[in-house]
Amino acid sequence: MEFCDLPEHIFLLILSFLPLVDAIRLCSCCKEWRNHWTHCNIIELDRSKFEYEVREAHFPNGIRTYIAAYVHKLLPLLVKPELDCIKLRLSYEEDASKDKSFFENLLGFAAAKMVKEIHIDLSDARMLHLFRRFLRPTVESFSSVYSLSYSIYNVTSLRVLSLRCCGLSNFNFELKFMQLTSLSFDGMFVTNQIILNLGSNCPNLENLSIVDCYLGRDHFQFHAAWSKLKRLTIKGARPYLAWLELFVPRIQYLEIQTFMYSVRLGNLQTLVEAVLDLENQMKYGYQAINIMEFIFLGFKWAKRLTLNHRLLEVLLCDDHIMLHETHPDNLDYFSHIVSCKFTLLLENLEHLILRTPLEGLALGGAFLILRSASNLKSVSVDTEYGIVAVNAQEVTIEGFIGDNDQMDFIEYLLRNSVTLKKVFISFPKSFPLPTEEIETLIKWTMKELEKIECYVLSISVVLVFQTDVQVCFPVNAFMNINSVF
């Protein structure tokens, strides 16, 4: 049977699983099905899918106008009264009214078609530039992030809403999203006032994700209003999460991977899985111990637990162990450590995942966890978590802005490559950084790399920062970095 001979209902069923662009391309393969793309159920407007058409057609105003044509001309032709999903991935440019009109039309269409899911991603290199670790982002630094108008609240049929580098101008749900079950914020400004508003006006919310957001040193409170919340993820908060209160009766999955100053957890009897990483909390040992004690009290009901390397090091913090010191990987070193500074209540734990190379203090922390979990059924140790194996002699990193992933990549290059000789680092070309900012970024980068254990570095590796004048640093010259500028 040829493709064109398929029964119409089978073909329409296939189309219901395809995004709009793919549905149009499929229908163009057969004359009989040329106009059947109007039965599409998923709208996915990703700039990467339009690059070929724009390049071939020499479209005068680029990808943005090409996508706008889909919204203005093609979407009104869709025949289904209800649609499942709209996904938009586009770099926002502050060129004003055209973008506002574009989003107004898109949101108006979503309201008319009773769309169930909306995913909007307006991230680009400039937005990611806000999250460089050597700068502390402020509210003002988010002024260029586009904010959706009040029209978003007209889409009352929403069940899933995901926003990346895209804010909400008037954050007041006012019981508009009664059906909303999943909400994701990425690269946004989030306050406790927003959290309280969500808890009061989204009674059916089950999944909340807050990733790489600026929290403004705010207190986050999750109390009785979040009675149906089942999954909570807080990851990469900037600059840190000042206070977290979590008393949610039905939560099943909890992931906390951020720096915190204080935490209170309780009423988590339904907790099944927890993932915990306190980022650089290990630098503040005594404070971290107090936080860890409250966290593990809240995690005592968890059946599956994932712990990262730095957190295991915190467990061994006591009056005789300073975390900033380097200790040998020797089992005898831990022989005098008979217990953690607080009681680990892990009798309900059945599955344990440790993401650690099992060295230094983390090895002793792993011993304590294993000894405290008496009912374990399985243990998984990922000793190569995040490691990048490199056999090249030269590596080039373009568009360097100093974010977490780029810094981790450079660190692992230096840790795990025997043959590496040079690492070339260049800065973004699409939005050139001022000379003073580049100098600050270079200084900060080298200062961060000082924290790597020097004995694992190859002294032949040279970092080459490609600016107007190349700046080279051998790895054994870290301590002289401040005299360069």
pLDDT tens digits for 374-421? Answer: 888 888 887 766 544 455 677 778 778 777 767 777 777 776 666 777
CB neighbour burial string for 447-473, b if at least 16 within 10 angstroms, e if fewer:
eebeebeeeebeeebbbebbeeeebeb
Least confident residue range of 109-113, 438-442, 474-478: 474-478
* Mean pLDDT estimate for the chain: 74
Confidence of residue 480 (pLDDT cuts 50, 70, 90): very low
Contact assessment for residue 403 and residue 134, using Cβ atoms and an 8 Å cutoff: no
Read off the pLDDT of each residue in 273-297 and give the average, rounded to a whole number.
Answer: 69
- Model confidence over 169-196: pLDDT tens digits? 667 777 678 899 999 998 888 888 888 8
In this predicted structure, the answer to whether residue 53 has a pLDDT above a threshold of 60 is no
In this predicted structure, the answer to whether residue 38 has a pLDDT above a threshold of 60 is yes
In this predicted structure, the answer to whether residue 168 has a pLDDT above a threshold of 80 is no
CA distance 128 to 363: 35
What's the distance, CA 437 to chain centroid? 25
| Residue 474, pLDDT score | 58
The tokens for 351 are: 């599955």
In this predicted structure, the answer to whether residue 353 has a pLDDT above a threshold of 80 is yes
CA distance 414 to 449: 9
| Residue 123, pLDDT score | 76
| Residue 181, pLDDT score | 95
Confidence of residue 22 (pLDDT cuts 50, 70, 90): confident
What are φ and ψ of residue 395, in 5° steps?
-130, 135
| Residue 10, pLDDT score | 86
Q: Where are the domains of the chain?
A: 272-385, 394-483
In this predicted structure, the answer to whether residue 243 has a pLDDT above a threshold of 60 is yes
Confidence of residue 124 (pLDDT cuts 50, 70, 90): low
DSSP states along 236-263: S-BS-B-EEEEE-TT--EEEEES-BS-E
Query: Which one-letter amino acid corresponds to residue 309?
Result: H
Roughly what angle, to the nearest 10 degrees, separates helices 404-416 and 435-449?
A: 50
What is the residue whose two structure tokens read 């920062």?
Answer: 465
CA distance 428 to 437: 12
What are φ and ψ of residue 289, in 5° steps?
-60, -45
Question: Nearest-CA neighbor of 214 among 183, 236, 194?
Answer: 236
In this predicted structure, the answer to whether residue 455 has a pLDDT above a threshold of 60 is no
- Model confidence over 325-345: pLDDT tens digits? 444 444 444 444 445 555 677
Contact assessment for residue 41 and residue 79, using Cβ atoms and an 8 Å cutoff: no
Cis before 239 (ω within 30): yes
| Residue 426, pLDDT score | 82
| Residue 85, pLDDT score | 92
What is the residue whose two structure tokens read 């996508």?
Answer: 67
CA geometry: angle 270, 230, 343, nearest 5 deg: 40
CA distance 323 to 208: 33
